[in-house]
Structure 1
Amino acid sequence: MKKNNFIGVNMNKKVIYISSLLHDLGKFLERSKQYVNNYIKNKYSDIRYSHPRYSKFFVEQLSKKIDWLSIEEWENISKIVGYHHQPNDFDTKIIQLADWLASAEREEQELEEFNYINDKLESIFSNMSDYNEQYEYDISVLNFDNMMPMFEFNCEINRYIDILSKFLEDIGKVRDEEEVLFILEKYCSYIPAQTRQYRSDISLYDHSKLTAAIAICLFNENKNGFIDNAKIDKIIQELQKMMEFKKFNKDQDNSDFKENLLTYLEDKLLDEHFILIKGDISGIQKFIFNVPSKKAAKSLKGRSIYIMLLTQLIAQYIIDQLNLTKSNILYCGGGNFYILSHKSAENKLKEIEKRIMQLLFKHHEEKLSCNIGYVSMKIGDFLLSEKIWKESSNEVNRKKLTKFNYILKEDFNKLFLPTDISKSIQTCDICKMEIKEKSTEKESDSLEIVLCDMCNSFISLADESKNAKSIIISKKTNSEDNKNTYKSIFNELGYDIKFSNDSHSSSNLINVYKINDFDSNKWILGSFYLPNKTFDDLADKNKIAYLKLDVDNLGTIFGKVKNPSLSRISTLSRQLNLFFEYYLIKLVEKENLQEDLYIVFSGGDDVLVIGRLKKLFDFSLKLREKFKIFTAENPNLTFSAALGVFDVDFPVINAIYEMEHLLKKSKSIIYYDEKDTIKIPRKNKITIFNQPFSWKELEYIKELYDKLYNFIDQNKENKRSILRKILLASEKYNPLIDGPKGNEINNQKIWKMRYYLRNIKDKKNLKQKEEIIDIYEKMWLKNYYFSDEKPIKNHQILNVAAKILDLEIRKK
């Protein structure tokens, strides 16, 4: 890359960052209609457009409340936000270019009537190929109750008024630039970034955040001598031509718009000033789950929290080292992160990757690693980013093949020389690493397990975090603890972590992150709570259940986003992570299940929960219902799941391998009516007792369970005998389905089952018994004779309902 000599005059990183975050905040004020438009228009008459005038007015008012920026810095911010659509200096041009790249997805649409004040934010899940239903969010703050989009939501009341005053109060109290980003997320996540004749599926928060990320990259490119005023002008001119091309193609109603745009970009907008970084923590599953079954609850939770915090702190370490900001972390969750950086950071990134790899090897040997890959981004990649997103994943996968390269080059012996077994060596019972000082944890009255300092620290981590209200994250230059613990790793990265159970005593600190609490200045999302129960307490008669799920066809989902700009791709990722890292956890709280369901992990696109079978069964149905609404009822957005039941002392790692097998079964089964259509999603099922079911079939199982439970409850003295009869009936007369396609019912077997169930010796509750038989019979009759959809494909529904009930009544 060729260096340029031009450096921006008086370029200030903090000014660029705050300007880019606030450049469009005038839209918030303007739409509220709480300010006299003529006054604003006359006061800033030299500014061409309306919302920059309001942005400038907003900044000038804010500068009177915040003192951690100088008067000169506020004057520069005011100038930049006011003139970002008509720039006449270099730093304002940076914001203009960042603004344009962050809104590359915008496309005009025909509107008969247009009321920009009441235009709502459309769900990103609505704007996909094969699906175009209009689901929108109410204009509101970010919290649990406001996360569900509504179909063609219509509200004639100006909703901006309801949240404006609290927004102005909160943003006037921010104490650093990071708090500005969090306040924008709280108040602007459901405000559309653009309303006038554009599709409104990107929030003002997501647009402002990406604009800030791009602006900081351009700032660093200029600082390092790789972009100057002439280059900025050239890129802006090319973008203007591209916008004309897009408008022409839209006016022509060109169905091949995406392909035409790809062709157009082959020889245009080729400047490379950005890189997309992806990080991936490898070895997570074995690391978390390879623990003894006894005392597993704390060890699992501690390890899960450690991976969650490690992922976030590695991402933080990278942005700190590369002179980036929190906004440059486009996504972080599930052991992965994506960071937008400047291209001139390539060499330093390689040094960072080496240091992180060495640090993890020092503490975890080959058991855990962080693979970091990156790809260069052309300016044109901001318009269609799906490919670049995939390429960064491919680069990480390539890195995994040589993940210990740095270790091999510097110390071959660390990986391949055998351990000296001539002397007595004590090893940890969990990680099998050599230990110098013995720590013990009792499994029972007569048995102790030997733990190394690191494994023992994970148990401590679970204890520290289980009732915590907040996390205090501060910078640290050295480790005070000579022991090998999770804290020593964080310290070596340059951070210190402390948990606080008192939400008030730490509220005046600037580096406090409240746990899952949007009603704060900063927050951190994730599952930290540990039930006050052991696995034995959660079990049913020595049986414990696991629920594992993940999103189906995730790669395909990104491919279905219309005009997949970087803004849309990162918005989609954030929304999915928000559901699993926040909404699911809050749903467990709202349903009063915190002490019944043990969330091992929930983030990214996958989940593992442990508890009682019936509780998990009901929760899976509730979660699936909420996910469907959250994703705008888009049939392309589904998740598959598995419910497994094991002895409570069954090795956790073995249970997880079995759960992976069951989940694979859920994703691989294809019903006969799914083979010839792409509209009905494959996968989208749940396996329980080794039987895969559709979610509709699971609802039938729940209905049968409820009837069986009521019937058994009326016959407590014969409950075991009756239940055995039902189980035998459902097994003896299977299969009920015949035919070459498996879609023809065997009438004779239905009547035999009816006769067999009637034979249960019970005259007292004949009505309840008949209800069970009738429900089961009507399900099949409706399914095979009176329904085109035929929702029941697996005839084991009664059998599974009875097995769930069998586990429930054993302890009663």
Structure 2
Amino acid sequence: MEYKVLDVAFSGLMHDIGKFYQRTKMVSDLTEREKLVTPMAKAGYYTHLHSGYTSRFFHEYLGMDNELEMITSSHHIDDQRPLAKILRKADQIASSIDRKDEEKDYEENNKKGTFQQVRLSSVVHEVDFGKQKALATYPLRPFHKMGYPTVDFEMTDKNESVGEYLGLFQAFINDLKSEDYFTSEVDKYCFDRLYALMYEYTTLVPASTYEGSKTYVSLFDHSKLTSAIASCLYLNDTEDENFIMFEFDVSGIQKFIFKVTEGKDTKRDVAKSLRGRSFLVSAITNIITYSYLYEFGLTQSNIIFNTGGGALLLLPKCKNFEEKLNKVTQKVQEILLDKFSVDINYVYAWVECDRKELETFKISKATKLKSKLDEEKNRKFNKVLNSDFFFNKPKSNYVCKMCGTNFVEKENDTCDICKTIIEISDFCIKHDDFFLVYDFNRRLDDQVSDCIKIDMGYMDFYLISKEDYPLIINKYDYIESLNQSHLGNTRLIANLVPKKNDRIIPFENMVINLVDTSYGDPKLGILKMDVDNLGAIFAFGMEKQRSLSKFLTLSRMMENFFGHELMNICVEVSKKMNSNISQFSNNESMFYINYAGGDDLVIMGPASGILELSKVINERFSEYTLNKNITISGGITIQSPSAPIRFGIKEAEEYLNQSKALDGKNGITLIHTSCKMNEYEQVLQQVNVFRKYITNQDISRTNFYNMMKVLDVENMEKYYRNIPILLYSLKRNVKNKDVRQDLISKISMANMNCDQLKKLVLEMKLAIMQTRG
């Protein structure tokens, strides 16, 4: 048979589905026909029994009984047909770490073994820089119910374990049967539907379970990587097992997102614009990703990771691959320049890997790729430099009132890009989950009604509602499901903003209405956080036993925290801060998630809520990783809700950098003061104590403010000089002996140093802010 890349990718994706099926059985019940696709050991018994269950799955649920099914199922048999050789090589490369595990998959082990009882261990445990960590395990469940790993996992008996697998597998089959679009051939819908269902139901299923209780790679990630490698081997011009690791990095993200002119004519749409711009940047990253995959004819399996600002792809080492890269780059960069001027662009780099280097993603290759990417950042506009690059004749005398850059035909008008950005924001508010469609062949014109369309010159990008989903089957090139696992790639985006009657609540109303009035001054808080040393974690954190599969799984775990768990945390803190939040916010959130990507976030909300939220995010992240080698840092800006957001973001970024300058990082900085996260909780506790003293009138707010001013000094010499003045003031103005003694102990603590004094002043400033009318 002649096969397409799609057939090869599908074969790689589904080759081990039999492992999932097999674990629903107490003992093997393969038929003689199904045993034909499993190898026979020299001792006379069948091995790799999961192959037979792969065959059964194809027959029972996909209606496929052809050569493609036979080759996919028999991938452990020495078959010399071209596709069979490709699939066997791909499987061996993808599972190089646990290859010996499958040798134990034979009938005797199937009867007495515990392979159904082992659960997926958190791959985060593999990150090791010498600090404390705990081995954690995920229960067997769908991905959208992933939650947090547990350290007290107890292996259930075999009957119960098989029952858990059977329940999950049946949910998978029920979902598979819910739509009748399948044919006996592999088409785009067939691939994308199975890809999404595999993501949902096998991300928490371990790929291998015979070698013991520690298994870190999910069945989905092993299958996805096998699919990617098989596609590359198929497209390579020779049988050489060489590959291209291709990475790109988008620049100008912060500048573009916060390129909003804030004035009386735009005030109403500032929040919408920020949200739409953040989403558009993420979409541009995806458009670049799929542009390269489309040129090579590859599927989404070849995306190793994709964050809001870049991606790593696995490409084939074919003769004309550089020509293809240049062709795509020229096309994409020209359209980005036309639409976004120099605000948004990207650079890329690539390295060639042989089989061994790919299996472990060798450190030297990873660092070389990063080094080349950094070099390219100095030449990012090289491919689009021409006579018009440095000077463009103005198209009119007016510029857009929203971005202040693009030309418009009349005064106080909005440019097409900013109009689209507002439309995107409105669409995201209206729909909690929807589809992103990438149409390189322009097949969807006038096919759908409830959508947003962006013409990228060489392709069309759509946001499409669930209602129009049946109209697009097999009429697209790539598709992504937003916050659901239905079709194609599943993308998790923290789609959460305070809403009332399907409208984003403005920042001024947010700080007044969404938080309890007892928290004082209605200021806006801006929080920026990201994971410490993430580059080092991926490059060196799993040095002892590296594999590309583990990188896939680790990237997915990070995406789940920032794209999904973060929303739960925001709602939890909102309810804690305001028990009546549901009366003012339809989604029970007081927080505006501007963006949350693979490892970072920007969130706005009432200042008192942001103070608490940053603490809880750190706590939940620690519970999620259970590994002190992986930490998070943050910066907080507190400002008037009417002040320009872009300036507040810039300050939060500067504060974040100060936190990362702390020894060991894992810090938080606000109001020019940095502290470690483990000290920050004590800071907030002390703020509440001071608030109580003021609200109970144990000390007047004026006296407390004056005490703070006296303590807010540049050096310790001035502090020591002011202590007698403070003690006298406390003696005279604080009648409650317990309160007075507590304040005396705080301001005259033995061995007080400069950092401790700064923290004390910070606590007092926050208490003052939270008691101001």
The alignment's TM-score, normalised by the length of structure 1, stands at 0.78
| Structure-1 residue corresponding to 2:537 | 557
Deviations 1:363-401 (A, max 9, x none): 112121122322212212123313333333333332222
Asked if 1:372 corresponds to 2:348, the answer is yes
Q: In 2, distance between residues paired with 1:91 and 1:404?
A: 41
Match of 2:491 among 524, 538, 541: 524
- Work out the CA distance in 2 between the residues paired with 1:41 and 1:736: 84
Structure 2: which amino acid aligns with 1:805?
Answer: A
Counterpart of 1:205, as a letter, is: F
The separation in 1 between residues aligned to 2:383 and 2:70, in whole angstroms, is 47
Q: Does 1:662 align with 2:655?
A: yes
Tell me the CA shift for residue 140 of structure 1: 2.2
SS in 2 for 1:281: strand
Superposition pairs of residues 229-628 of structure 1, within 5 angstroms? 271-272=241-242, 274-293=243-262, 294=267, 295-344=269-318, 345-385=321-361, 386-408=363-385, 412-417=386-391, 419=393, 425-438=397-410, 449-474=412-437, 475=439, 477=441, 489-500=454-465, 506=469, 510=473, 514-518=481-485, 523-531=490-498, 532-539=504-511, 543-558=523-538, 559-561=540-542, 562-592=544-574, 595-628=589-622
Equivalent in 178, 182, 193 of residue 207 of structure 2: 193
Instruction: Output the CA distance in 2 between the equivalents of 1:31 and 1:772.
Output: 62
1:110-121 equivalences under 5 Å are 115-121=114-120
For 2:208 and 2:132, locate their aligned partners in 1 and report how far apart those are by CA, in whole Å.
19
Q: How does 1:683-702 map to 2 (within 5 A)?
A: 683-702=665-684
Residue 725 of structure 1 corresponds to which residue in structure 2? Answer: 703
Q: Is the 8 A contact 2:432 2:495 kept in 1?
A: no
Q: How many Å separate the matches in 2 of 1:530 and 1:499?
A: 20
- Runs of 5+ in structure 1 lacking a partner? 1-8, 232-270, 441-448, 671-681, 740-744
Task: Give the corresponding residue for 2:49.
Answer: 53
Q: Is the 8 A contact 1:704 1:775 kept in 2?
A: no
Match in the other structure for 2:97: 105
Q: For residues 124-143 of structure 1, what are the structure 2 equivalents within 5 Å?
A: 124-129=123-128, 130=130, 133-143=133-143
Counterpart AA for 2:175: D
**AA in 1 matched with 2:325:** L
Partner Cα distance (1:135, 1:806) in 2: 43
Which of 633, 643, 652 is the matching residue for 1:640?
633
The amino acid of 1:154's aligned partner reads: E
Could you say what secondary structure the match of 1:794 adopts? helix
Distance in 2 (CA, whole Å) between partners of 1:390 and 1:554 is 13
For residue 497 of structure 1, give the secondary structure of its aligned residue in structure 2. Answer: strand
Instruction: Determine the structure 1 residue equivalent to 2:22.
Output: 30
Q: Residue 43 of structure 2 aligns with which residue?
A: none
Q: Which residue of 2 aligns with 1:245?
A: none
Cα 1:195–1:343 change in 2 (3 A) is same
CA distance in 2, matches of 1:757, 1:516: 56
Letter in 1 for 2:247: K
Report the TM-score when normalising by structure 2. Answer: 0.81
| Cα deviation digits, residues 446-473 of structure 1 (max 9, x gap) | xxx4422212221222122212133344
| Deviation (angstroms), 1:47 | 1.8
Distance change in 2, residues 1:155/1:313 (3 Å): same
Q: Residues 37 and 693 of structure 1: is their aligned pair in 2 closer, same or farther, counting only changes over 3 Å? A: same
Kept after mapping to 2: 8 A contact 1:218/1:342: yes
Q: Is the 8 Å Cα contact of residues 21 and 57 (structure 2) preserved in structure 1?
A: no
- 8 Å CA contact retained: 2:122, 2:138: no
Contact 1:539 1:611 in 2 (8 A): yes
Query: Does 1:92 pair with 2:84?
Result: yes
CA distance in 2, matches of 1:426, 1:118: 68
Contact 2:245 2:314 in 1 (8 A): yes
Q: Distance in 2 between matches of 1:142 and 1:602?
A: 22
Give the secondary structure class of the aligned counterpart of 2:339: helix
Distance 1:51-1:28 versus aligned 2 partners, 3 A rule: farther
The alignment partner of 2:118 has SS state of coil
1:184 partner letter: M
Measured after TM superposition, the shift of residue 337 of structure 1 is 0.9
Match in the other structure for 1:804: 766
Q: Is the 8 A contact 2:195 2:488 kept in 1?
A: no
Deviation per residue, 1:485-511 (Å, 9 max, x gap): x967544342341343xx567478648
Shift of 1:326: 0.9
Matching residue's letter, 1:99: D
Paired with 1:63 and 1:567, the residues of 2 have a C-alpha distance of 28
Deviations 1:138-178 (A, max 9, x none): 33234465332222522324132331221232234575211
Q: Distance in 2 between matches of 1:146 and 1:525?
A: 13
The SS at the match of 2:770 is helix
In structure 2, what is the Cα distance between the partners aligned to 1:625 and 1:460? 36
Residues 477 and 492, structure 1, Cα contact 8 Å, conserved in 2 = no
Specify the SS of the correspondent of 1:383: helix
Q: In 1, Cα distance between the equivalents of 2:284 and 2:131?
A: 37
Give, as a single letter, the amino acid of the residue that structure 2 aligns with 1:338: L
What's the CA shift string for 1:258-286, capped at 9, x where partnerless? xxxxxxxxxxxxx53x1111122111111
- Structure 1, 691-700 or 146-155: larger mean CA deviation: 146-155
Q: Look up the match of 1:714.
A: 696
Distance in 1 between the 2:259 and 2:113 partners? Answer: 58
Higher mean alpha-carbon deviation, 333-342 vs 531-540, is at 531-540
Aligned equivalents of 2:131 and 2:758: distance in 1? Answer: 33
Give CA deviations for 1:194-251 in whole Å, capped at 9, x if unaligned: 1222651111111111111101111112xxx322xxx5xxxxxxxxxxxxxxxxxxxx
Aligned to 2:580: none
Q: Counterpart of 2:259 in structure 1: which amino acid?
A: N
Q: Cα offset for 1:107?
A: 8.3
**Structure 1 contact 549–606 (Cα < 8 Å) conserved:** yes
Does the C-alpha gap of structure 1 residues 799 and 210 become closer, same or farther in structure 2, counting only changes over 3 Å? same
Once residues 114 and 480 of structure 1 are traced to their aligned partners in structure 2, the CA distance between those partners, rounded to angstroms, is 56
Percent identical among aligned pairs is 23
Q: Structure 1 CA distance, aligned partners of 2:122 and 2:2?
A: 40
Deviation at 1:735, TM superposition (A): 7.8
Distance 2:121 2:565 in 1: 19
Q: Secondary structure at 1:196's aligned position in 2?
A: coil
**Distance apart, 1:751 and its partner CA:** 9.7
Tell me, yes or no, if the aligned pair for 1:552 and 1:684 is still in contact at 8 Å.
yes
Check 1:749–1:571 CA distance in 2 against 1; reply closer, same or farther (3 A cut): farther
Deviation at 1:43, TM superposition (A): 4.6
SS of the aligned residue for 2:637 comes to strand
Cα distance in 2, alignment partners of residues 700 and 163 from structure 1: 43
CA-CA distance at 1:71 after TM superposition: 4.3
Q: Report whether the alignment pairs 1:21 with 2:13.
A: yes
Supply the RMSD in Å over aligned alpha carbons. Answer: 3.6
Residue equivalent to 1:168? 173
The 8 Å contact of residues 640 and 683 in structure 1, kept in 2 or not, is answered as yes
Flag the 1:753–1:171 CA change in 2: closer, same or farther, 3 A. farther
Q: Which amino acid aligns with 1:312?
A: N
Q: Distance in 2 between matches of 1:620 and 1:523?
A: 27
Q: Is the 8 A contact 2:673 2:759 kept in 1?
A: no
Match of 1:795 in 2: 757
Match of 2:193 in 1: 179
* Structure 2 SS opposite 1:371: strand
Greater Cα shift, 469-478 or 552-561:
469-478
